[in-house]
Amino acid sequence: MSGQREGESLGADMPQKGRTGRARKRKKARPALLLTVLCAVIGGAGLGIYLALAGGGTPSDNGGLTGAAANRQPEPPCCREAVEFRMTDLDNGWIRYTDGFKTTADGGMTWTETDRLPEAQAGGLPAAGNAPAAGGAASPETVAAPQLPAGYEWLRLKDEAAQPPAATLRYQGADYPIKQLQRMTDRIGWALVQDSGELAGKLMVTADGGVTWQAEAGEAVRTAIREEKELLAKRQEEAALYASAEQAKQAFRSEWLLLPDTASPGDAVLVRHSRAGDIEWQGKTYTLQPYGSGYFTYLPIGMGVKPGSYPIGDQSLKIVAKRFETQYLKVTEEMESMRQDTQRINADQQKIDAARSKSQPEFLFREPFVVPVEGRLTTPYGYTRYVNGKLSGSHMAIDLAAKEGTPIRATNDGIVALADSLYLTGNSIYLDHGMGLFSQYAHLSKLNVKTGDRVKRGDIIGLVGTTGFSTGPHLHFTFWVHNVQANPNQFMDSSPFQWGRKTP
């Protein structure tokens, strides 16, 4: 019995032991299953949160997206793109976009939105069909700068043909293809570049000839623009004095220029140099004064200068001989005695020297010189004169006989350096025309101006008379170049900027 119980007891225990093992296995699998489910739940929640934050929806049964993601539109470009531009001068210009314009009146420091251009600027707007294609062309479009008077376009740029447009520009260490370029002067230029970022709508500007570029026209650019405007104004002012645009161009591009390059005793020569400095001439030093975009001085060719070639900078001045006639005059003993009163003569000379010692450091005239009086030439310039049989010297002026009271005109614009009654020359006027050039009017019956007055070419400054050492009503007229008398015939209906040059 005991064995059976044992057997029965053993048989009954065996199945119980198997169930217990399977239960234990199920208990061990439950945590793994819970972990898997938990991960799936967390993952699904995370995906939902991501889609929600990204503006999307939740996955649909058919694999698509529902909600905002299904309706989301492509993002627009980050920046507004400029189509084309034009600067009409150093201050004014415009940029065209597909939806309007921007204009500037201060060189690009500020821009104003507008849907149409002012009439003053619209003239530079090409037809819409001429706008650069999207993405830019293979080579940049070059825009012409504003027009100057015909033949004077070179004033803006020293040598435009020698500076072909660049294909790229560098900005903040990166190179950008240029799609449109406008060079205004040697220093100032503007450009549009091909860019998908913020530069797409910017007008780039350079103030150093393209060495560096800026996306904004700051104060440094404005300073450069102001300096260029002043320089251009000076260039135009000087260029207008030459006989032609071609002569002006030659002058601007020459290191040295002599006008004329061939002269005779009694003449004057205008010297232009590209830099400041001094010139040594016949034992004297003449300082080159700034004017326009060059430096100038007159050289007087005294009656004692011998024929030959004289180097002036990299040029050669040729002096040729000139023959002057002889004149014989007879005067009364009373008049002859006037020439002996050296004390009064010297006192007057001090006044004259003081008046001619100061000259405006610029050319005060803009037009050719005119003959000051309608009269008959009685004594040409340079005559060797004998008075009562005695050598008196050379007559370094011209005498124009006219009725007393005939109006006398200013030969050109100037400032009255002296208007006074002098012993030998009677009522006299000296006009300063700048740069050491003076005109003299003597023996007047009346003075219509006073020292310090400004006069214009053709103004009536006095009347013909016979005061001082004079044999009859006439005008004694001459020029002084750095206190050396010069032949008036060289000036009449001309100007120093036109000496020796013929208009092509």
What are 324-358's pLDDT values in tens digits? 887 777 777 767 667 677 889 999 999 999 999 99
pLDDT per residue as tens digits for the range 224-280: 999 999 999 999 999 999 999 999 999 999 999 999 999 999 999 999 999 999 999
pLDDT confidence tier of residue 70, bands split at 50, 70 and 90? very low
Q: Which residues of 422-453 are buried (b: 16+ CB within 10 A; e: fewer)?
A: bbbbbbbbbbbbbbbbbbbbbbbbbbbbeeeb
pLDDT confidence tier of residue 454, bands split at 50, 70 and 90? very high
More confident residue, 226 or 123: 226
More confident residue, 167 or 116: 167
Write down the pLDDT at residue 471.
87
Tokens of 363: 């050319």
SS3 378: strand
Write down the pLDDT at residue 387.
73
Whole-model pTM: value is 0.73
Q: How far apart are the first and last CA of the chain?
A: 153
Tokens of 20: 């217990």
- 444-453 contacts: CB < 8 A, separation 24 or more? 444/408, 444/475, 445/404, 445/405, 445/473, 446/405, 447/419, 449/416, 449/419, 450/416, 450/419, 451/355, 451/416, 451/417, 451/418, 451/419, 451/420, 452/415, 452/416, 453/415, 453/416, 453/419
SS3 336: helix
Decide the pairing of beta strands 289-291 and 189-193.
Answer: unpaired
CA 226, CA 180: separation in Å to the nearest integer? 24
27-41, 153-167, 466-480: which has the minimum mean pLDDT? 27-41
Write down the pLDDT at residue 494.
95
- Read off the pLDDT of each residue in 210-235 and give the average, rounded to a whole number: 93
Write down the pLDDT at residue 55.
45
Tokens of 114: 């507008």
pLDDT per residue as tens digits for the range 21-69: 444 444 444 545 444 444 454 444 444 444 444 444 444 444 444 544 4
